[in-house]
Amino acid sequence: MAILKLEDGMLLTDLKEIAHELAPLNIQINHWSVGDDPQLQRLLAQDSLNEDEKEQVLKALDNYFEELKQTVGYHSRDLIVLHPGVPNLDGLMAKFDQIHTHADDEVRYIIDGEGVFGFERPDGSQVELTVQKEEYINVPAGTEHWFYLTKLQRIKAVRYFIGTEGWVPQYTNKEIRLRQPAIY
């Protein structure tokens, strides 16, 4: 269940209300079911996945990719799997916990675990959105945002790309005023 934290501390959990708050940024957020395939559920419950297992997970969810290919033109997808056993996890995450933009949309389908996206809205206000399992989010290219893991330090997310060359953070050197995770 997504949770949006506003700068005054208010928390929103209704997806429609959250979408309304994020509308000035053209961010899309949807609930997408992972279904009830027992093999997929088993893989999602594992901490880590080898390359074959990642491919199985991606294939099981490719109906969404096919739709995105046709409607939005995304060309590729991969699966990111993070958990406390990943070497240098803090170092990996440090690239993204400052305000940055990308030349490509940041499109994520969370299929296990959770993470926090922060955004600066056009009026200068900041919000933090905790995204969890079965949530799809599209952050348009050029949107100022940041991202970090919750205390769980665990996420599996399908990433959809137009092109990977846009996948470099451009730092805008703005200060994050909202720092504390929404639900801890």
Residues that bind Fe ion (CB under 5 A): 106
CB 106, min distance to Fe ion, A: 5
Cα 101 to Cα 33, 178, 181, distances in angstroms: 28, 18, 21
Q: Name the residue nearer to Fe ion (CB basis): 63 or 172.
A: 172
Tokens coding 147: 């991202």
Q: Name the residue nearer to Fe ion (CB basis): 143 or 153.
A: 143
Query: Are 107 and 159 within 8 A, CB to CB?
Result: yes
Q: Name the residue nearer to Fe ion (CB basis): 106 or 128.
A: 106
Q: Which residue is nearest to Fe ion (CB)?
A: 106
CB 63, min distance to Fe ion, A: 26
Query: Are 139 and 105 within 8 A, CB to CB?
Result: yes
**Torsion sign (Cα): 158, 162, 164, 168:** negative
CB 38, min distance to Fe ion, A: 33
CB 96, min distance to Fe ion, A: 5
Helix (H, G, I), strand (E, B) or coil at 30: strand
Q: Name the residue nearer to Fe ion (CB basis): 21 or 106.
A: 106
